[in-house]
A and B are shown apart, each in its own frame.
Chain A
């Protein structure tokens, strides 16, 4: 069954076009990576899929229902959608606005009017699961970068959404935190949930997605399995996902050529 159906979508900020004539279909239960360089339109597309932005042209449908401003003016539709779809923002600071970590994680369930006893239980469980129970009385914006990211993720996953939208989930994290976060996401929902991840970190692709959509200047440049995309060196260079930089080999030879960073399916050396 189709989860999201995007048809000829165009979204413009004042003078800049972020998404242009984009058509895409995402199936239920699939794990899709939106891959692209900075400014390729990934974050904008995620916000459109979450019903926060609405395109000037084209259409977006969620489980057959059009996502429009008019639809979101209806409380029943808006609450239903928010119960099912969760978005984790790239910058955790924008997601942390409550006085304590506990309040932060409880914010979503309270807005969706869960019973208060259930909110307390679920928040407690989620804090334990994310290893942040010891931070529950701390002020969120005074936490470290990794802790903030965990709290931001917990504040969305506490809702147990059927669809998770992630914007650069591992950005600005140290390697250990990145690895822990990826493990959490892979384990989440027993792998049965729909996950759409925007990233330019090619190293995570094999773990977080079974389908890649490469974006370039707001358009789809390519689609395919992660391994297939990672093999296409010309595509990666053209879309600024790999770069050539100077480095020294064991033999002492110093040269530069297109270079894919750590953890990718195919490493060039």
Chain B
């Protein structure tokens, strides 16, 4: 049974706890998925980091829409072959990217000078052809990059990703910050869940809007302060057991024939993308 399934929908506190449980589930999903038996899960972490990063680079450099769309299609096929449900990709990558990038891209639709292609009824706002092209490029690039990045996260254990980053000489401080950020998010969710459960156990009946806002405001400050302290203690506990920034794992990185073939495939795809997208 899922964590989220243990709570029924109800008032403000119940819904908050429910949301926190779902967020915890989402945070845990990546590790479960990374242990699965899909295509990318079989590959060496270094190949995935290098290969997917090369594809992201090709996406950013490409100046032709069909090339970016082609890389997006490759990303979706790779995700499907790695048993990542399309629904998960849609909810965690595509919708989020659409919301955030959309907010940036929408003004470009109207503000970029050029030939008008559409007039918004009642507002007299004009969408221009260059504006539409600019916004489309931006959205497609971000959607493609987010899909590739999420595919990496869902097919590679977190510690392997960190170790692979160190292999590529990413500075220790950056890798430590990434590792601590992941732990910080989990601690934030755990602490928030405990706080709201504690608040729920001491209250009876529905809360009005004022109370909800008061609780939310009071909780936010306490939550950040407590989580900050806890994550500091986690870092101390890591140091106490000899952590100096390097990532050491029991699993050895081992390049097999499949990994070399995959690396060549990624390199060829990225090179073709850069060449065709000039």
Contact = CB atoms under 8 A, between A and B. Distances in A.
B190 to A, nearest CB: 7
B186 interface: yes
Given A110-B248, A139-B28, A141-B186, A94 B230 contact: yes
B168 to A, nearest CB: 20
Interface residues of B, number: 26
Interface string B1-36: 000000000000000000000000000100100000
A119 B186 CA distance: 27
A108 B243 CA distance: 8
B244 A111 contact: yes
A3 interface: no
What size tier do the contact residues of chain A reach?
A: 20 to 34
A236 interface: no
Nearest to A107: B241
A189 interface: no
Interface string B211-245: 00000000000000000001001101111111110
A112 interface: yes
B238 to A, nearest CB: 7
Contact of A155 (B187, B233, B234, B241): B241
Contact of A110 (B31, B157, B249): B249
Given A119-B250, A120-B250, A87 B240 contact: yes
A86 interface: yes
Interface in A205-244: none
B237 A97 contact: yes
B240 A94 contact: no
Interface string A105-139: 01110111100100110000000000000000001
A52 B28 contact: no
A52 B31 contact: no
A145 to B, nearest CB: 13
B53 interface: no
A168 to B, nearest CB: 14
B240 A99 contact: no
Nearest to A47: B236
A99 B157 contact: yes
4 A-B pairs with the lowest CB-CB distances in the bound complex, closest first = A111-B242, A108-B241, A94-B233, A110-B248
Given A47-B236, A94-B236, A113-B248, 12 more contacts: A79-B242, A82-B241, A82-B242, A86-B240, A89-B237, A91-B233, A94-B230, A103-B159, A103-B250, A116-B250, A155-B241, A156-B240
